Amino acid sequence: MTTTITPATHRPLTTGDDLDPTRGNAAESPVTRISTRFGVAFGACQIAVMIAMSIFVLPKGGLPGDPAFERGRKVLDAATAYRIGNFVFMASSVLLLGFLGAVHHRLRRVDRTSVLPTVAVASGTLLALIWPLAGALHDVAIEAATNGADPRILAGWDSVAPFALAFSALVRVFFIGSVVLGLRLAGTAPRLQRLGIALVPVSVVGSATLVSGALFPVLALSTLAYELWVVAVAWTWLRRS
């Protein structure tokens, strides 16, 4: 008597749809969609806060050419507005952390080495913290002036926000670059790829605000473009999930 042993068949752990970076219908989870929505919320809130700060808060501090003592007194007189503005700004900035989960998920699909998602999450975390930290430091300066320190200290500390933003622009290059490479590997969103590539050199130029304040307009415009780009990337992922 002979016995024929038929090898057992096993269902593969992953399917083609799970590994296909251009398709998210079967593999996308509600948690990932929530994380992706944080990207839209981050960009929209950041832009709204920047506009509100420019209209309602920053003019209270006077002009850059005003005497340091006068500027410091104006900031001190508007301390409450600055504190509220700094808090709202910090709250909107950390929304980026929620988006990093979706970024990691998307990039992990197209890069099994995990190089791109690692770079994106690391740089994104720094982006979510560096610029908001400037708001916290500015609050420290306001507190010191409120407790009797020379108000002129506030005139100097006004520069901490643009300097922190300029530094974050260098980190931004790595975040944008990793997402662009992920989009390229997935073969999706060619326009967003081109826009991301264009943002890289502009961000580098804007970061030179650390050397010359004359480049601040480039820094501000590149930041606005970057936030719009994040919204566009998140919105594209939502539509295709």
CB atoms within 10 A of CB 22: 10
* Band of residue 27 on the pLDDT scale cut at 50, 70, 90: low
* Band of residue 16 on the pLDDT scale cut at 50, 70, 90: very low
CA distances to 55, 99, 114, 132 from 86, in Å: 14, 21, 35, 8
pLDDT of residue 12: 39
Contacts of 40 (CB under 8 A, 6+ apart): 231, 234, 235, 238
* Band of residue 20 on the pLDDT scale cut at 50, 70, 90: very low
Instruction: Please check the confidence at residue 117 and state whether its pLDDT lies above 50.
Output: yes
The two tokens of residue 42 are: 């981050």
* Band of residue 137 on the pLDDT scale cut at 50, 70, 90: very high
Which has more confidence, 7 or 107?
107
Considering the chain, what percentage of its residues have pLDDT values greater than 90?
A: 66
Which has more confidence, 204 or 24?
204
Single pTM value for the model: 0.85
Mean pLDDT of 135-145: 90
- Lookup result for tokens 């600055």: 82
Instruction: Please check the confidence at residue 3 and state whether its pLDDT lies above 60.
Output: no
Q: Domain spans of the chain?
A: 28-239
Q: What confidence tens digit (pLDDT) does each residue in 192-240 have? A: 999 999 999 999 999 999 999 899 999 999 999 999 999 999 999 999 8
Gyration radius of the chain over CA positions: 23
